[in-house]
Amino acid sequence: MISDIGDIRFVRFLAPSLAALLLATACQPVVSAGKASPSPAPAPKHVFVIVLENTPYQVAIRQRYIAGLARQYAVATNYSEISNPSLPNYLAMTSGSTWGISDDEFHTLPATGLGKQLSSAGISWKAYMEGFTGDCFSSPYPYSLKHNPFAYYGGDCPANVVPMTDLTTDLNGDTPLLSWITPGMCNDGHDCGVARADRWLSQTVPQIIGSTAWKRGGALFITWDESGAGDGRVALLVIAPGLHGQLTMPLNHYSLLATISDRLRVPRLGLAKQATSLYPQLEAAAAKGPTSG
């Protein structure tokens, strides 16, 4: 009997403390063992692309300004075209497929491609075309339709295709996340040679790398559609804060699309799904230190 009374007194003493402990525990957030809260996906960063014409790797890299960019930033030394002539390469860069095309004629393709994808995702983009006067299909020289792949997807002329003269204003203001830059048939080296393209780059690239969009983690890619030589090897310059040296892994135009897609946080299209992306190298360079700006 005495033992029972002692037990009852002990329970009465313990009950308030136990109740308080249970209440405090119930108010704590539940955390699953081994499952940390997922980190938010990195925000897209600005991408600039310049496509030039018909120059082998060794010829391009000997040009004065181009050589300086290669020394200061990064150059892919094992980068290849996809096909010949121009058009299938531009399609490969923007959709992950040549669509079986082996000429420079106009073909209405399905309404797909990088531009359509970005518009659907609400990601800003513009294609700056030298000589463009408002109509993808009838703008005068030096503009060339075969160097404007965005007009082929769905067979219309997107409002995102604008004159090259808009570039300076946008670099100083509201820069789209993707700026696709296509010089005309002379400045791209097609009609006037690679030395002319080199001079054009020396005037255009400083504007880009001087912009706030580039300084805050942006990346500029400069490549050529095809080499015009038997090996199909072209240069790819990667102008990004903190990235230097040679990139020696095998790459091609599908790799460029893969890298653009990864940077802008959209799914890769077509054969870009299997291509090697330079996104890890860009992220590693950015992680080494704060970007300028």
> Which residues make Cβ contacts (< 8 Å) with residue 247, sequence separation at least 6?
74, 75, 76, 77, 78, 236, 238, 278, 281
Residue 87: half-sphere exposure toward Cβ, Cα within 13 Å: 18
**Integer Cα distance of 153 and 68 in angstroms:** 36
Tell me the whole-structure pTM to 2 decimals.
Answer: 0.86
In a domain, 34, yes or no: no
Which residues of the chain are under the pLDDT cut of 50? 1-35, 37, 291-293
Residue 193 burial (10 A CB sphere; 0-12, 13-18, 19+): middle
Range of the domain at 110: 47-286
Q: Give domain status of residue 42, yes or no.
A: no
Provide the pLDDT for residue 178.
Answer: 98
Whether residue 20 lies inside any domain: the answer is: no
Residue 241 lies in a domain: yes
Within a domain: residue 37? Answer: no
Total domains present in the chain: 1
pLDDT value for 40: 65
Q: Is residue 179 part of a domain?
A: yes
The enclosing H or E element of 279 equals helix 279-287
pLDDT value at position 289? Answer: 57
The pLDDT > 90 percentage for the chain reads: 81
Nearby residues of 72 by Cβ (< 8 Å), 6 or more positions away: 244
Predicted confidence at residue 8, as pLDDT, reads 39
Of the candidates 190, 188, 125, the one whose C-alpha atom is nearest the C-alpha of residue 162 is 125
Tell me the C-alpha distance between 247 and 236, whole Å.
9
The CATH number of the domain where 88 resides is what?
3.40.720.10
CA 270-55-142 angle, 5° bins: 85
Please state the three-class secondary structure of 171-215 as a single string: HCCCCCCEEEEECCCCCCCCCCCHHHHHHHHHHHHHHHHCCHHHH
Residue 292 lies in a domain: no
The reported pLDDT for the residue numbered 130 is 98
Distance CA 268, CA 257 (A): 7
Give residue 287's pLDDT: 86
